[in-house]
Amino acid sequence: MIDLICGARPNFMKIDPIIRNLSEKARLIHTGQHYDYSMSGSFFDQLELPRPDINLEVGSSTVTVQTADIMKAYEPVFLQGKPDAVVVVGDVNSTLACVLTAVRYGTPTVHVEAGLRSFDRTMPEEINRLLTDQISDLLLITSSEARINLLNEGRPENAIVMVGNPMIDTLLRLLPESAHSTVPSENFGLVTLHRPANVDDKILLGSILDALGELAPLLLIFPAHPRTVKNIRNWGLQSRVPDNLKLVPAMDYLSFIRHQQAAQVVITDSGGVQEETSVMGVPCVTVRPNTERPVTCTLGTNVLCPDPGSIPSAVIKQIENRPDVPPLIPMWDGGAGARIAREIERILK
């Protein structure tokens, strides 16, 4: 039996194609890192994922406390189930916590989306990526630069396998269904910002809001995290929310990918959004000084914009340079789930 770990919104889209292709018996473990319906339940419904066999229900906390809580909750579940392998995806706290638990008992571990590096150790996700890759047995990568990163960190060549991007499997499967979701009839841009560096800094958040206002009259749809809305209110930034920026609640998956596909441009700080927009051929401006997904800049439609003041010019340039057809990125083809399943079953044999 295999334990498949998911905990946060980005994990569900990556786990889905793996479950669909595994012939081995698997337990789906939801750590509860994301726990409300919009961030968790709606994704199980729309992806038609099986309900988790176990929900650890850890809830939110600081990075350190949450990681420790997941380990404490998962250990008795792990010991009771005695899985033959533990599979984790991405770079959230659940990823590191469950790999650490499994490794201490000598159980083989698989990291899907291994080797991604921003080289910015102020990001909690970067620490999770580095540590998970150092102790995982099988490292399944989405792009060629991940192999270079892992080899440079001393990981063995035979532990690294290129499988492609499972998140794109889910995107390609559900894009036709997302066509039923409604979007504005006028031209619009989509904004998605959640990283603490952008939304937990009063000065930076205010500068970003000012820059978004300079894009008027382009309508901007911003499904804002409750924390971001709270910061805007607590810091008295309401007057700097421009008229062309429409704050809306978090979207379900189908509505969100439909908005991405229909947008003139997407302004984000999300890794997954950089990938999805590249595959759809939608111009993307990433409000960060770095990315752990450089392939989206070299082969995709993404550009980095570390200075909020440069957002308007970057957006205009990206819209002007929109490709006639979506770019092709190797193995981002809808077949990653099958390749991942084969590799997992190979190590079990």
DSSP labels for 94-107? HHHHHHHHHHTTT-
Question: What 3-state class would DSSP assign to 35?
Answer: coil
Residues 6+ apart with CB under 8 A from 81: 1, 3, 27
Q: Given 180, 194, 225, 259, which residue is catalytic? A: 194
Within 10 Å of residue 22's Cβ, how many Cβ atoms? 19
Cβ distance 99 to 75 under 8 Å? no
Pairwise CA distance, residues 66 & 21, whole Å: 31
**DSSP β-bridge partners for residue 139:** 111, 160
Determine whether 194 is an active site residue. Answer: yes
**DSSP β-bridge partners for residue 138:** 110
- Please name which of 60, 120, 114, 124 lies closest in space to residue 88, comparing C-alpha atoms: 114
Place of tokens 């995982």: 136
DSSP labels for 294-345? THHHHTSSEEE--SGGGHHHHHHHHHHT--SSPPP-TT-SS-HHHHHHHHHH
Structure tokens of 268? Answer: 């984000």
- Please name which of 92, 88, 93, 90 lies closest in space to residue 136, comparing C-alpha atoms: 88
Pairwise CA distance, residues 292 & 313, whole Å: 23
Pairwise CA distance, residues 243 & 262, whole Å: 21
Residues labelled as active-site residues: 194
